[in-house]
Amino acid sequence: MTAITVTQHVRYQTKVAHRRATSEPAWIRWTLIASALAFLTLFLFVPLAAVFTEALRKGWDTYLSALIDPDALSAIWLTLIAAAIALPLNLVFGVAAAWAIAKFEFRGKSVLITLIDLPFAVSPVVAGLIYVLIFGLQGWFGEWLIDNDMKVIFAIPGIVLATVFVTFPFVARELIPLMQAQGKDEEEAALVLGASGWQILWRVTLPNIKWGLLYGMILTNARAMGEFGAVSVVSGHIRGMTNTMPLHVEILYNEYQYAAAFAVASLLALLALVTLALKTFVEWQSAKNAAEFEKEANG
Partner 1 sequence: MSIEINNISKQFGKFHALQNINFNVPSGELVALLGPSGCGKTTLLRIIAGLESADDGRIAFHGDDTTDKNVRERQVGFVFQHYALFRHMTVFENVAFGLRVRPKATRPSEAEIRRRVRELLGLVQLDWLADRYPPQLSGGQRQRIALARALAVEPKVLLLDEPFGALDAKVRKDLRRWLRRLHDELHITSVFVTHDQEEALEVADRIVVMNHGKVEQIGSPQQVYDQPASPFVYQFLGNVNEFESRVNKGRASINEVTVDSVEHQSVDDAAALAYIRPHDIEVLKEPNGAPSFSATVNYIHSLGPLVRLELQRQDDERIIEAELTRERFLQLQLIEGSQVYLQPKQVRVFLKH
In the complex, the residues that contact partner 1 under the rule CB under 8 A are 185-186, 188-196, 199, 203-204, 207-208, 292-293, 295-297, 299
50 vs 297, which CB is nearer to partner 1? 297
**Shortest Å, Cβ 257 to partner 1:** 52
Q: Are 153 and 137 in contact (CB under 8 A)?
A: yes
Q: Which of 47, 77, 81, 71 is nearest to 262 (CA)?
A: 47
82 vs 204, which CB is nearer to partner 1? 204
187 vs 227, which CB is nearer to partner 1? 187
* φ, ψ dihedrals at 71, nearest 5°: -65, -40
**Shortest Å, Cβ 296 to partner 1:** 4
**Shortest Å, Cβ 178 to partner 1:** 13
**Shortest Å, Cβ 175 to partner 1:** 16
**Shortest Å, Cβ 71 to partner 1:** 47
80 vs 195, which CB is nearer to partner 1? 195
C-alpha pair distances (Å), 191 with each of 58, 100, 187, 188, 200: 64, 16, 6, 5, 7
**Shortest Å, Cβ 125 to partner 1:** 43
61 vs 185, which CB is nearer to partner 1? 185
22 vs 298, which CB is nearer to partner 1? 298
149 vs 296, which CB is nearer to partner 1? 296
**Shortest Å, Cβ 183 to partner 1:** 8
